[in-house]
Amino acid sequence: MTFDYDLFVIGGGSGGVRAARVASGDHGAKVALAEEYRMGGTCVIRGCVPKKLMVFASEYGEMAQDAQVYGWDMDVKGFDWSRFHDGLVKELDRLEGAYRNTLKNAGVETFNQRATVVDAHTVALADGSTFTAKHILIAVGGRPFVPEFEGSDLAITSNEVFHMEDLPKKALIVGGGYIASEFACILNGLGVETHQYYRGSQILRGFDDECRNHIASHMQAHGVQIRCGTDIVKLNKQGGRILATATDGTTEEFDVVMYATGRVPNTDALGLAGAGVKLGLKGEVIVDDYSQTSVPSIFAVGDVTDRIALTPVAIREGHAFADTVFGGMKRTADWDLVPSAVFTQPEFGTVGLSEEDAAAQCPIEVYTTAFRPMQTLFAGRQDRVFMKLVVSAQTRVVLGCHIVAPHAGEMIQLAGIAVKMGATKEDFDRTVAVHPSISEELVTLRKPVRTA
Ligand code: NDP
């Protein structure tokens, strides 16, 4: 049987674009890719990239204050959202163009419309045309999940936050995960009175407890009003504002309420079930380690599979899929010891096991340090850095490394190499410190603060 394409990719985000480029550009496959929105996906268009630019924008306020202590004459009059937003739009346009060029240069044919799966080898486009392909790759990502309750339609999500016409004066963020905590810090840094409601006992559930506490108290000290054990019962329109009623019965008005209560796979009405592709309870595509679904010609990578919802992981999955299916190299991504960063303020970089998870597995030693770093101490700030190494008492291997500090994301990328290589505490210790730096403290942790 002949097909129109060797590969038809649905979704132009990180995973889909990488798979298409490698299959076509490196392995010579005839590839098409359909994207219904903008090329680049969540990461580039409404996720990591615009978020990080907003993080940068939100940090300049305090930096400008600190610069004065360092001797600079500063006259900062405030933050101009529309000026920043114009720049943001231009940058995203540039990046989208770069993604399109990547695909074009790799010889991938692109369709700017929604595609659905008809059967194991057929894809239909929104304009009614259909194409056959030897392989189909589902890389449609996820979308924000907002629970349904009275007035829930008044809430915005991370999709809309980048398109706000004006900066609100007062905002409520609901949720305690990556997105909620990052945006609470961003809005707070931009001068918005920011409240964060989280239903659990401490934000950033799943991460190392001491780090979570450190981050939350730092966020509060810088102005984010965090209320744990609190959820929303209803939202009502009140003039131009939103009245939020919380589970404890209190009410408060906000200009914007943003829900960041998790994300769900984008598999609605995609035709997958009809084609025989097995889906999980959240609608995620069930795949094996090679990203193959229950239909052998259909594969899926990235957030739609609900494995680890991080761009670099989706990229690895897409690349491994293309190498396996079109390059004759049987490869899988590696989901073990994936370093990541939460771009809160303070930033959090983490790799490996939290103290709690490690202690549940084996005897451990815990090394920590907390101190005021030079740069902000000089500026009169009380901010503290916090670092932790979780070490196996038996093998001496560093099981977890957790850093709450400026540029912790940069640090954990490098510490992640050592942890991934199986470095022991003694390997860290015999590495000479870089002085004066924050990260040098990672190689000068002498005595465990506790064993467990
Ligand atoms: P998370 O899963 O991290 O957090 C969801 C939050 O919403 C949790 O605090 C959860 O509470 C809460 N929640 C869930 N359902 C409800 C509900 N019905 N009512 C009230 N609260 C609720 O999801 P995010 O949306 O923040 O991020 C999605 C994923 O995107 C992340 O897991 C991460 O993989 C990725 N991401 C990564 C980033 C990075 O690398 N820096 C940045 C942004 C996103 P509870 O804890 O009680 O379940």
Q: Whose CA is nearest to atom 32 of ligand 1?
A: 309
Average pLDDT of the segment spanning 262-276 = 97
Q: Is the CB of 263 under 6 A from ligand 1?
A: yes
Number of H helices, E strands in the chain: 12, 22
Q: pLDDT-derived band of residue 325, with 50, 70 and 90 as boundaries?
A: very high
pLDDT at residue 118, rounded to an integer: 98
pLDDT at residue 155, rounded to an integer: 98
Average pLDDT of the segment spanning 51-76 = 96
pLDDT at residue 76, rounded to an integer: 87
Which atom of ligand 1 is found nearest the CA of 179?
A: 26
Q: Indicate if the pLDDT at residue 412 is higher than 90.
A: yes
Domain with CATH 3.30.390.30 in the chain: 340-451
Cα 250 to Cα 244: distance, rounded to the nearest angstrom: 8
What's the CA-to-centroid distance between 189 and ligand 1, angstroms? 21
Q: Whose CA is nearest to atom 38 of ligand 1?
A: 178
Q: Indicate if the pLDDT at residue 298 is higher than 90.
A: yes
Average pLDDT, the chain: 97
What's the CA-to-centroid distance between 223 and ligand 1, angstroms? 22
pTM over 0.95: yes
Q: Indicate if the pLDDT at residue 1 is higher than 90.
A: no
pLDDT digits (tens, 9 = 90+) for 17-38: 999 999 999 999 999 999 999 9
Cα 341 to Cα 18: distance, rounded to the nearest angstrom: 22
Average pLDDT of the segment spanning 223-237 = 98
Between strands 193-198 and 225-228, the pairing is: parallel
Average pLDDT of the segment spanning 408-419 = 98
Question: Could you say which DSSP state residue 25 is in?
Answer: I
pLDDT at residue 197, rounded to an integer: 98
Residue 284, both tokens: 């995620």
Q: Percent of the chain beyond pLDDT 90?
A: 99
Q: Is 163 a catalytic residue?
A: no
Which atom of ligand 1 is found nearest the CA of 158?
A: 25
If one counts every other C-beta atom within 10 angstroms of the C-beta of residue 7, the result is: 26
Domain with CATH 3.50.50.60 in the chain: 5-142+264-326, 152-261
Between strands 241-246 and 232-238, the pairing is: antiparallel
Q: Is the CB of 147 under 6 A from ligand 1?
A: yes
CA angle 342, 348, 350 (to 5 degrees): 95
Q: Does domain 340-451 have CATH number 3.40.50.300?
A: no
> Are 101 and 410 in contact, with CB atoms under 8 Å apart?
no
What residues does 119 pair with on adjacent strands? 122
Q: Whose CA is nearest to atom 16 of ligand 1?
A: 261
CATH class assigned to 152-261: alpha beta
Q: Is the CB of 280 under 6 A from ligand 1?
A: no
What's the CA-to-centroid distance between 142 and ligand 1, angstroms? 12
- CATH superfamily placement of domain 5-142+264-326: FAD/NAD(P)-binding domain (3.50.50.60)
Q: Is the CB of 344 under 6 A from ligand 1?
A: no
